[in-house]
Structure 1
Amino acid sequence: MNPVLEFPLTDEILTEFALAIGTDLQGYRNHVYRVLNFYCAISDLQGLPCDAVQIAAAFHDLGIWTDNTLDYLPPSIRLASEYLDTKQRPDLKEHVSALILEHHKVRPYRWAHATTVEPFRQADLIDVSLGRVRFGLPRALIKTVQSTFPDHGFHAMLIKRSARQFLRSPWRPLPMFRW
């Protein structure tokens, strides 16, 4: 499988938030592109994922920057919901919200929209784990996606923010995880 090199809908959204993301833009964009490519591979999908997945991918971690928090799921969902309102796509709100809310679920997701939410959750975990968790994807594919869309400091930023969160709230070090 060759990586998908462009996700225009996702890029349109990321461009809208470029100032908020600041110097982390390239790292976040590449993270989103890696997740989307892993999603396509897990789902055995040729071409682009559905709009809900592309939109959720752009917004899934955005609250980190817009609200300066690691408790970013609620702000990310809020931003996605506002975006869907402006695009007159309220039909996608439930689906996009589920994709964002459950992408850090520790156990497999089996409820509404599971056919997209679960592979999205897996794709994000593949990237966050730097490919150590693979969900059956070949190492060569993961390496190809990683080299096509380099890290640009994304994981270092996560580590730095996680350390800061731990110092501020040691009893709640990773508030984005869901059981």
Structure 2
Amino acid sequence: MTYAMHFLDGDLDGDLDVEPAVETAMAYHDIGLWTDRELAYLEPSEAIVVADNEKHSWGLDPELLRGIIHWHHKIFRYRGPHERVIEACRKADWIDVSMGWIRKGMSRRNVAAVEAAFPNEGFHKSLLRLAKDYGGSTLVGGIRVTRGIMKW
């Protein structure tokens, strides 16, 4: 969330306040790993956030929520509807998942400050464990998760 809002300059997308949608999508973006115990977790995560948005009457744009989740592992730049917001979230997730190794233009100082404020507390190790648990081995699970979530 911090990285995404940095790329959005803490700004609004036109007249629409996107921060609640970014917060919500980022909270749900990997949830299918746990709820559906699925390495191809994008579609389950999208379905859950859209259902909860409707159930709780949050009033968030379901296409924006879906887009943020669906494209957050896209390797190359996202172009399309809600481009500015989805691209900010995509770059933010690459910084997070790579533990700052990939910075997408973010300074090392900013990455270090965010990691100090919000330590990952073993989250990345948990992802490797889930790949092994759901895929049978870390290698097979890693291949399955990569095929299931990576977008070109």
- Give the TM-score normalised by structure 1: 0.73
Deviation at 1:159? 1.7
Q: CA offsets per residue over residues 42-80 of structure 1, 9 Å max, x none? A: 222169952211110111000111011211111101110
Which residue, 48, 52, 64 being the options, matches 1:95?
A: 64
Deviation at 1:41? 1.5
Look up the match of 2:50: 81
Rounded to whole Å, the distance in 1 between the matches of 2:136 and 2:6 is 34
Is 1:41 equivalent to 2:20 in the alignment?
no
Deviation at 1:114? 0.5
Look up the match of 1:118: 87
Unaligned runs of 5+ residues in structure 1 are 1-35
Look up the match of 1:155: 124
Note if contact 2:40-2:145 (Cα within 8 Å) is conserved in structure 1.
Answer: no
Is 1:178 equivalent to 2:147 in the alignment?
no
* Aligned-partner residue type, residue 50 of structure 1: E
Unaligned runs of 5+ residues in structure 2 are none
Q: Judging changes above 3 Å, is the alpha-carbon distance between structure 1 residues 91 and 153 closer, same or farther for their aligned structure 2 residues?
A: closer
Q: CA RMSD in A?
A: 2.2
Rounded to whole Å, the distance in 2 between the matches of 1:177 and 1:67 is 18
Is 1:61 equivalent to 2:30 in the alignment?
yes
Q: CA offsets per residue over residues 104-134 of structure 1, 9 Å max, x none? A: 1111101000010001000000010110111
Deviation at 1:152? 1.0
Give the fraction of aligned pairs with identical amino acids, expressed as a percent: 31
Note if contact 1:40-1:49 (Cα within 8 Å) is conserved in structure 2.
Answer: no
Residue 149 of structure 2 aligns to a residue in which SS?
coil
Any runs of at least 4 consecutive aligned residues in structure 1 with deviations exceeding 4 A, and if so which?
46-49, 168-171
- Give the TM-score normalised by structure 2: 0.85
